[in-house]
Structure 1
Amino acid sequence: MNIADIESYFEQAIPSSYKEFLSGHTKEMEGDVYLYLLQDLIERNDCYETKTYANGYINIGDNGGGEAFIIALGSDDPEVSIVGHGSMDPTLKEFVCSSFSRWVASGFEYDNE
């Protein structure tokens, strides 16, 4: 599995800030933020039907509590949001951080209350 496979699955480029992160993201994370490894992205997005219910977004991980972290495709450094796995409806998303790169720099901080 590589980035080209992910872009082929979504039929568009994934954000450059996220691509850069993926290139160095090789170990599973623990805690309230679990970002999927490259080899799990298609399976997780297929499982939650991201292309159907959140078209134009990629599900990049979850909080272990039934919510998905999503970012918009088609932007270099998109805003990070969270949405319930049950709906995957971007109109119901909640703000996490103004850009993916800022979220990484913050150590993946978000208010999970």
Structure 2
Amino acid sequence: MDFSKLNGLEKNEGAGELDLLKAEKELGGRLPILYKMILKRMNGFILDDGVCLYGTEDLSERNSTWEVAVYAKEFIAIGDDSGGTVLLMPFKEDSTVIIAVDAGDMNPSNGVLVSADIVNWIENGCQIAY
């Protein structure tokens, strides 16, 4: 994975297996495989434009705060834009899709497709089209 197009990257060190297992236990399911691969390389980050990808230490709290289990069942919040848009992925191992939803709505059917491939999205600078 190439992270060179991420502007102003502030990243955490990669997550270990115990971090990933703890996050999965707290969330009650298996994280998407590609998201786990990213977390192993860098356990969350924030860019100059405010786009952030949650690390394992933030996943449970952010998903609880956004009430994802209530309003976006079968999804997981993986990040946000620091301005009211939440990034969701289907909460299944083979998921690659990212959807942007308004924090005040959280209904995935009202969301906008950000990318069909999380790796491609990161490699192209984490752009969110509104």
Is 2:93 the partner of 1:72? no
2:69 maps to what in 1? Answer: 51
Contact 2:44–2:52 (CA<8 Å) still a contact in 1?
no
2:127 equivalent among 86, 96, 109: 109
**Residue type of the alignment partner of 2:53:** L
Q: CA RMSD in A?
A: 1.7
Distance 1:10 1:29, change over 3 A: same
Contact 1:77–1:101 (CA<8 Å) still a contact in 2?
no
Distance 1:77 1:27, change over 3 A: closer
CA distance in 1, matches of 2:113, 2:55: 23
Question: Which structure has the bigger radius of gyration?
Answer: 2
Distance 1:21 1:27, change over 3 A: closer
CA drift of 1:75 comes to 4.2
Is 2:78 the partner of 1:60? yes
Tell me the TM-score normalized by structure 1.
0.88
Identity over aligned residues, as a percent? 27
> For structure 2, which runs of at least 5 residues remain unmatched after alignment?
1-17
2:25 maps to what in 1? Answer: 8
2:34 equivalent among 17, 22, 34: 17
1:94 maps to what in 2? Answer: 112
Superposed structure 1 runs of 4+ greater than 3 Å apart: none
Is the deviation greater in 58-67 or in 6-15?
6-15
SS of residue matched to 2:46: coil
> For structure 1, which runs of at least 5 residues remain unmatched after alignment?
none
